[in-house]
């Protein structure tokens, strides 16, 4: 084995992948790393090599033999290019097994999955009372295969159990914010500057002339639990996890079949409902009611910024490679990354305001898409439903095992960054 720690990195030109790669290369022991990045585009490959001084191999996730070859050479593999590349994952694992068989040492495999695996069938009509922790392994085990969930995680769990690699499955919620650094700065950025979700929504709004939501846009991605509520005995518990639901995100929703008013009331026990647009006063929560009629996010909520996401990966990488304490892996190695939640309506409205200011559209208020429009803007009603689902999650492992906490927490910063993301997306639309 080389004296260097060999890292095979997949996804360097992506929004998540580029920011994580920069974080890894900022590690104090980075001079002991030998990084090889898989890049499809030759021009970008040369730019990355020049910007970061790392090795490059031209190829894609469809090159199984190449994936196996370079994984066999690696002490660490990062797969940040695709959450559901089933065949590519098998090829990577084949290489890692060959490495273990030859050296007797287990390589590390960090795979980006995605909180979208938790999607329900809300169709934008309601905010689900169900919140899933990354400690809730029974529920994770039973997640169905869907158009955005091939269950590639099971391959990773099985590989870890077989003992030839140590696997970590990382599932971020929707990420926002402008990344900085050599892969993102300058007139010709190498890696993606904005999440695909904002790009998709901005493009649909531009074509429609105003933001388009599914149903009422009441569904939410991500979840933040006020730490003061964790041990409050007044909070009701369902068969999965204790939840406290802030009704500021419920004003657009109505119960759908299987999501009755009784179920929502049970989830909201311990919460004193205020008039529409007021914040709640929660049992065990220090939040104060806001002025009646004032629409705002609670001040103690946090938002998942691209830098906070990269910090989560960095902490996990550092702990797994250099830490003295055991880090969860394999079946226990699911790590959700979330810091807040926001309804589809709320984000579409902010995107709409940014597009109006740019002169791209004339109306910022979101409107429901017809079935024909869903197919027109998303390709199919099935795919549109994915964006109209709830994915309410709790990232307990990062907080408890690694001490992770987001730094970008201000409401004004969130709105500002979403609008800046929209500006980037709008420029791409004109290109």
C-alpha torsion 235→237→243→249, nearest 10 = -90
pLDDT above 70 coverage of the chain, percent: 80
Q: Sorting pLDDT into bands at 50, 70 and 90, what band is 282?
A: very low
C-alpha torsion 361→365→370→371, nearest 10 = 90
Would you say the pTM of this structure is higher than 0.85? no
pLDDT of residue 266: 34
- CA 2 vs. chain centroid, Å, equals 34
CB atoms within 10 A of CB 196: 12
CB atoms within 10 A of CB 409: 18
Please report, for the chain, the start and end positions of each structural domain, with discontinuous segments joined by +. Answer: 5-222+299-430
pLDDT of residue 25: 98
Report the alpha-carbon angle 67-35-87, nearest 5.
20
Q: Which is nearest to 230 in space by CA: 243, 245, 221?
A: 243
CATH superfamily, region 5-222+299-430: NAD(P)-binding Rossmann-like Domain (3.40.50.720)
pLDDT of residue 223: 47
The single residue listed with the structure tokens 């009422």 is 216
pLDDT tens column, 375-419: 999 999 988 998 999 998 899 999 999 999 988 767 788 889 999
pLDDT tens column, 182-218: 999 999 999 999 988 899 999 999 999 999 999 999 9
Pairing state of beta strands 108-112 and 76-79?
parallel
pLDDT of residue 367: 97
pLDDT tens column, 287-299: 333 333 333 333 2
pLDDT tens column, 251-278: 222 223 333 333 333 332 332 222 222 2
Helix H or strand E encompassing 96: helix 86-103
Token duo for residue 226: 């006020």
Span 90-109, average pLDDT:
98
Q: Which is nearest to 412 in space by CA: 297, 305, 308?
A: 297
Phi/psi for 391 (5° steps) reads -135, 65
d(CA 361, CA 295): 23
Are 267 and 241 in contact by the 8 Å Cβ rule? The answer is no
- CA 259 vs. chain centroid, Å, equals 25
């Amino acid at each position: 084995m080389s004296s260097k720690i060999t890292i095979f990195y997949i996804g360097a030109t992506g929004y998540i992948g580029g920011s994580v790669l920069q974080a890894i290369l900022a590690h104090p022991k980075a001079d002991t790393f030998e990084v090889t990045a898989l890049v499809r585009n030759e021009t970008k490959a040369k730019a990355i090599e020049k910007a970061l001084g790392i090795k490059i191999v031209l190829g894609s996730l469809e090159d199984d033999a190449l994936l196996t070859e370079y994984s066999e050479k690696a002490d660490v593999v990062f797969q940040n290019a695709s959450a559901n590349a089933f065949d590519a994952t098998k090829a990577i694992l084949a290489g890692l097994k060959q490495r273990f068989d030859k050296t007797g040492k287990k390589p590390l495999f960090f795979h980006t999955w995605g909180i979208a695996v938790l999607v329900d069938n809300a169709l934008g009509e309601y905010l689900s009372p169900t919140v899933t922790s990354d400690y809730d392994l029974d529920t994770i085990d039973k997640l169905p295969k869907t158009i955005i969930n091939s269950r590639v995680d099971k391959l990773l769990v099985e590989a870890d159990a077989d003992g030839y690699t140590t696997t970590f499955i990382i599932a971020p919620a929707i990420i926002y914010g402008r990344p900085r650094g050599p892969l993102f700065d300058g007139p010709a950025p190498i890696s993606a500057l904005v999440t695909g979700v904002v790009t998709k929504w901005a493009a649909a709004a531009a074509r429609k002339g105003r933001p388009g939501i599914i149903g009422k846009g009441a569904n939410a991605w991500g979840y933040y639990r006020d730490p003061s509520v964790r041990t409050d005995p007044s909070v009701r518990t369902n068969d999965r996890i204790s939840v406290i639901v802030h009704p500021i995100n419920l004003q657009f929703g109505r119960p759908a079949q299987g999501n009755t008013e009784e179920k929502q009331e049970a989830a909201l026990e311990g919460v004193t409902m205020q008039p529409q647009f007021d914040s709640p006063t929660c049992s065990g929560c220090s939040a104060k009611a806001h002025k009646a009629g004032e629409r705002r996010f609670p001040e103690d909520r946090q938002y998942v910024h691209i830098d906070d996401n990269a910090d989560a990966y960095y902490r996990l990488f550092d702990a797994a490679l250099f830490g003295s304490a055991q880090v969860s892996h394999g079946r226990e190695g699911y790590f959700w990354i979330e810091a807040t939640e926001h309804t589809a309506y709320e984000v579409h409205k902010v995107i709409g305001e940014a597009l109006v200011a740019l002169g791209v559209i004339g109306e910022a208020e979101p409107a429901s898409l017809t079935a024909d429009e869903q197919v027109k803007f998303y390709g199919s009603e099935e795919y549109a439903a994915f964006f109209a689902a709830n994915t309410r999650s709790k990232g307990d492992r990062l907080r408890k095992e690694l001490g992770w906490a987001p730094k970008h927490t201000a409401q004004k910063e969130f709105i500002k960054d979403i609008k800046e993301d929209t500006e980037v997306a709008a420029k791409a639309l004109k290109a």
